[in-house]
């Protein structure tokens, strides 16, 4: 989560909503990193999780991320929760809860929906205060600026 936070800070410095993500393989090695770059890339799917999962899949040479874990500073949205199911991730670890758009337990619970045949394990609210503080600071700055 410390690495994901570092990614989030990079997004912050770029003027992007500060969300960062990493993907770890079964041995705990980082195989993908990403931070939100929706503004810079003009890409509606430019969320930290998607970028980290793409990098991880590229490094493994395949789309299946079985055995891997996604670690992200903010509870994933519906798109990213869906992508983590599609990627067959073993585990989704997140920091701050997103009561407005979260799809891993808040508004929806996409990854634990029993109708889906793959359900990643969820570990919620890891370093949640630190992850949330970065977002609060970002939006406070934006209101002032």
Taking CB under 5 A as the criterion, the residue among 5, 21, 80, 134 binding Zn ion is 80
Least Å distance, CB 48 to Zn ion, is: 8
Bridge partners, residue 33, by sequence: 22
**Euclidean distance between CA atoms 31 and 65, whole angstroms:** 10
Q: Is 77 annotated as a binding residue?
A: yes
- Match 């205060």 to its residue by tokens: 129
**What angle, rounded to 10 degrees, do the helices at 48-60 and 2-13 form?**
120
Contacts with Zn ion, 106-135, as mask; x by CB under 5 A: ------------------------------
Segment lying near Zn ion (by CB under 5 A), choices 20-28, 52-60, 74-82, 109-117: 74-82
| 125 classed as catalytic | no
HEC per residue, 19-30:
CEEEEECCCCCE
Positions touching Zn ion (CB under 5 A) are 47, 77, 79-80
List the binding residues for Zn(2+).
47, 77, 80
């Amino acid at each position: 989560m410390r690495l994901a936070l570092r990614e989030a800070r990079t997004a912050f410095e770029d003027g992007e909503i500060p969300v960062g993500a990493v993907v770890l393989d079964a041995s705990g090695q980082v195989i993908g990193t990403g931070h939100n770059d929706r503004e810079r890339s003009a890409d509606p799917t430019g969320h930290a999780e998607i970028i980290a999962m793409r990098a991880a899949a590229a490094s493994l040479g395949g789309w299946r991320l079985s055995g891997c874990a996604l670690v992200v500073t903010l509870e994933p949205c519906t798109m990213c929760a869906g992508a983590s199911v599609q990627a067959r991730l073993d585990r989704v670890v997140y920091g701050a809860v997103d009561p407005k758009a979260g799809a891993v337990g808040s508004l929806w619970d996409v990854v634990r929906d029993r109708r889906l045949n793959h359900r990643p394990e969820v570990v919620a609210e890891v370093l949640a205060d630190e992850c949330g503080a970065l977002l609060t600071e970002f939006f406070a700055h934006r209101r002032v600026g």
